Structure 1
């Protein structure tokens, strides 16, 4: 006899994750594939993804919201937004689209198994009360991001257990941490560290940013002049959103091209801006001159130069050195210098988690994602009826999330039209012998989290269709033009 408690619910599409990608995907699916049943599962207790996970002081976007926001939903606030502002924006999308009824929170997916005989995925998720929820789906849409939400990456430094203060990672910020009047050391120099330092410096005794090597930063006003002018003229917000979005994308494309064509000139422009804020006597060569060219690692934007203002005012400082060991009172550095601290923040990155730590299998065989080859960073050889959202490293994540959604919806409609129950991508005869390489070329992007996780990421080929280009300005034309009848798509 069938036990209803163990019966699987069936949906046409199952979306994994209720973050920026999953909510956007649900909007597009509802609009472009009307009548399809779908469910969105998320392990957390609410929507938001990274904007719910991270609660550290000052948390904000490091992409402007005109491009990080959805193309279908105008952004009307400052371009660099706080987490609460982004969550409010996402909540409006959920409410306006009536997506609440499709989302199940507190569902952590443990397994996903594909069965070719039924052409379905079977998914088991653990509910917040420890019970198991079971689902089947015709198509799986992975929108869970690319890092492990449960824990951040912290190196294992000697002596950490001896430190008498508190060690916190930005991904697990404690509610009871009071940094007022405290000496704080923030380890790291990426966008997270550059956000935390000025935010904590307002009330801390002092905040020190300890970096092993410098990072490039850009500064500017947290405002878009043309947007303010157009609002003054009473222009429709939909028009403002599109105009500003195009202007920003055009300027970004031009800037990124210059980082390749004239990297030394761009580097000097960035460093000149740093000197303007910190003064001619500051040691910019040591603390703000990276060893890599601009945009070989992510280039963080500092709105209103708040990090540099904190340093110039003496509330914050930068030390470029390496850690020898933690001590009872702080850190001993390899140079012999010491840093006293009451709180140490390890803004040292995250663990890559390409498929949400879900145990995948295909017809009973475990899926080794690192052995697949990607089709434009969205589908993978040997993996049926599944698409994955992975955004950009030099442009806003959501630009690609919107495009992948268009592709998935078009693929689903194409399958319906030809009465196909299954689709997967496969190398074609003309791809025989194609050279394969890592997901991202290290010469193009060398951040630590990618270097640590290349082995679990899919491989790429040396043809455009078998690689994630990480180039919005090329893909904005290429992805909509994908020929779904190409022999790379195998339908059954």
Structure 2
């Protein structure tokens, strides 16, 4: 790790050593190699989500040709990869770009105050091993801490939950020693985690029941991408990877657009594919017919139809009903039906926590998240020299993060060229706003009153179109009338330029 003097001001502090933080550091190494930066990670290892979650079957729900970094080809055989494979990929990236010397583990950023007089962030960091606090300064603060609370997931207040005599487990705290062989398991939930757990547990458990209050849309996707594997055989690694990445990103966007523009047709198509994957008499309408339109919530992708296979061989089943109460031996439903269980898994979602729970302030005035508007999906209104990584909800997370990191490096180059030290986004007066994430998932809806907002037009819009973002973030100027620059002595911005830097 590179040592920095206590009074030295870093160019950038990156919070989080997950896929976004590692990606940002790699872009700095590629495009801004002289940047003095550190990565602070509260946990004892890198990887974020892919190291935190240890439940059986944990895997991506996006293909790794788009979920991987643009600059590092994914060489695994499976496009839908497990957590261990993704962690290996991240560790390889860290070694290749020599990031280890920049990462400090067990360090939690507690608070950060922007000091206008010094034109830097004054950051308070806690060493989680010693509980000692220290301060450091940085010119830019970059949050790559994800969007949810790592300490605990979300579990509703189920009636009688304390009465159940067996273990009640949230996937975010899966015990390594749990023996579920031959056991009766009820998995509560209907999202990606639930549909991942059920077929994996069913291979060993006595029986697994997926208990869902409302259904989700479930689509089968091949675990391997045959086109990508063929391209890898006939082309060099990077061209093959780029073509596969483009193909999958384009297909995902086209399907999303189809679902949004023709929701009834999309619903019928998904219903047809689901019915075809299950036995003729299976009650598809009861268990796979959500009350919302496709892509109002993220679709659940299952590799090679593994959930459908578990339902066909009856090692798993689905019950769509609401819980009346937990009992000593299971769950009683509102219909009066009982589900006997040895283990209950509450795959009931996440608790949203933006920016790692850091308490931000500007000149000692606390930043109220709900009063801020996102600029280009990477900065907040009236918060100088602060940026963050937030990926797509309708495609691979990393597609958006990669573009944001690249654009951010162009922004730094523009500031350096004009000797600016401060950058702040300021929205026009009376800008109409709406929720930051236009998404009906429960974890999003629970947090809407405590997160920033977005506008209805660029650059205050959270774009969900990767190919439009390529034009906006990679090719268009970094300057904008709503983005204000100055030097630490208050020097006003000079004439706008195209703001382009070499970002190949």
Coarse TM-score class (shorter-chain normalised): over 0.9
Structure-2 separation of matches of 1:352 and 1:7: 33
* Cα displacement (A) at 1:433: 2.8
* Cα displacement (A) at 1:485: 3.3
* Cα displacement (A) at 1:487: 2.1
Structure-1 separation of matches of 2:162 and 2:108: 32
| 8 Å CA contact 1:373, 1:459 repeated in 2 | yes
Q: What residue in structure 1 maps to residue 137 of structure 2? A: 136
Structure-1 separation of matches of 2:59 and 2:464: 23
Q: Normalising by structure 2, what TM-score? A: 0.93
Q: What residue in structure 2 maps to residue 203 of structure 1? A: 204
* Cα displacement (A) at 1:8: 4.9
Give the match's secondary structure for 1:331.
strand
- Distance change (3 Å), C-alpha of 1:231 and 1:463: closer
Give the match's secondary structure for 1:149.
coil
Structure-2 separation of matches of 1:60 and 1:256: 22
Structure-2 separation of matches of 1:272 and 1:486: 47
Q: What residue in structure 2 maps to residue 270 of structure 1? A: 270
Give the match's secondary structure for 2:10.
strand
| 8 Å CA contact 2:249, 2:466 repeated in 1 | no
Structure-1 separation of matches of 2:119 and 2:233: 55
| 8 Å CA contact 2:332, 2:339 repeated in 1 | yes
Structure-2 separation of matches of 1:231 and 1:406: 26
Structure-2 separation of matches of 1:135 and 1:27: 22
Give me the CA root mean square deviation. Answer: 1.5
Establish whether residue 70 from structure 1 lines up as the match of residue 62 from structure 2. Answer: no
Give the match's secondary structure for 1:466.
coil
Establish whether residue 438 from structure 1 lines up as the match of residue 435 from structure 2. Answer: yes
Deviation per CA, 1:99-143: give whole Å up to 9, x if none.
100000110111111111001111122112222232210001111
Structure-2 separation of matches of 1:269 and 1:381: 41
- Distance change (3 Å), C-alpha of 1:315 and 1:124: same
* Cα displacement (A) at 1:229: 2.0
Deviation per CA, 1:213-261: give whole Å up to 9, x if none.
000011132111112223343x211111111111111211221121123
Structure-2 separation of matches of 1:230 and 1:487: 44
* Cα displacement (A) at 1:440: 2.7
Q: What residue in structure 1 maps to residue 37 of structure 2? A: 38
After TM superposition, the structure 1 = structure 2 runs for residues 139-218 of structure 1, keeping only pairs within 5 Å, are 139-218=140-219
Establish whether residue 254 from structure 1 lines up as the match of residue 254 from structure 2. Answer: yes
Q: Normalising by structure 1, what TM-score? A: 0.95
Q: What residue in structure 2 maps to residue 13 of structure 1? A: 12
Structure-2 separation of matches of 1:220 and 1:65: 13
Q: What residue in structure 2 maps to residue 385 of structure 1? A: 385
* Cα displacement (A) at 1:482: 4.4
Q: What residue in structure 2 maps to residue 107 of structure 1? A: 107
Give the match's secondary structure for 1:111.
strand
Q: What residue in structure 1 maps to residue 48 of structure 2? A: 49
Structure-1 separation of matches of 2:480 and 2:222: 47
* Cα displacement (A) at 1:300: 1.4
Structure-1 separation of matches of 2:125 and 2:317: 46
After TM superposition, the structure 1 = structure 2 runs for residues 311-330 of structure 1, keeping only pairs within 5 Å, are 311-330=311-330
* Cα displacement (A) at 1:178: 0.9
Structure-2 separation of matches of 1:189 and 1:360: 35
Q: What residue in structure 2 maps to residue 485 of structure 1? A: 479
Q: What residue in structure 1 maps to residue 498 of structure 2? A: none
| 8 Å CA contact 2:253, 2:395 repeated in 1 | no
Structure-1 separation of matches of 2:437 and 2:135: 35
Structure-1 separation of matches of 2:400 and 2:301: 20
Structure-1 separation of matches of 2:5 and 2:231: 56
Structure-1 separation of matches of 2:302 and 2:385: 41
| 8 Å CA contact 1:212, 1:320 repeated in 2 | yes
Structure-2 separation of matches of 1:184 and 1:150: 24
Structure-1 separation of matches of 2:433 and 2:204: 51
Deviation per CA, 1:433-492: give whole Å up to 9, x if none.
332222133xxx211111111112212222221121222232121122443332211112
Structure-2 separation of matches of 1:454 and 1:470: 18
Structure-2 separation of matches of 1:60 and 1:71: 20
Q: What residue in structure 2 maps to residue 473 of structure 1? A: 467
Deviation per CA, 1:317-361: give whole Å up to 9, x if none.
000001111111111111111111111111010011012111111
Structure-1 separation of matches of 2:378 and 2:320: 39
Q: What residue in structure 1 maps to residue 281 of structure 2? A: 281
- Distance change (3 Å), C-alpha of 1:112 and 1:268: same
- Distance change (3 Å), C-alpha of 1:159 and 1:9: farther
| 8 Å CA contact 1:354, 1:456 repeated in 2 | no
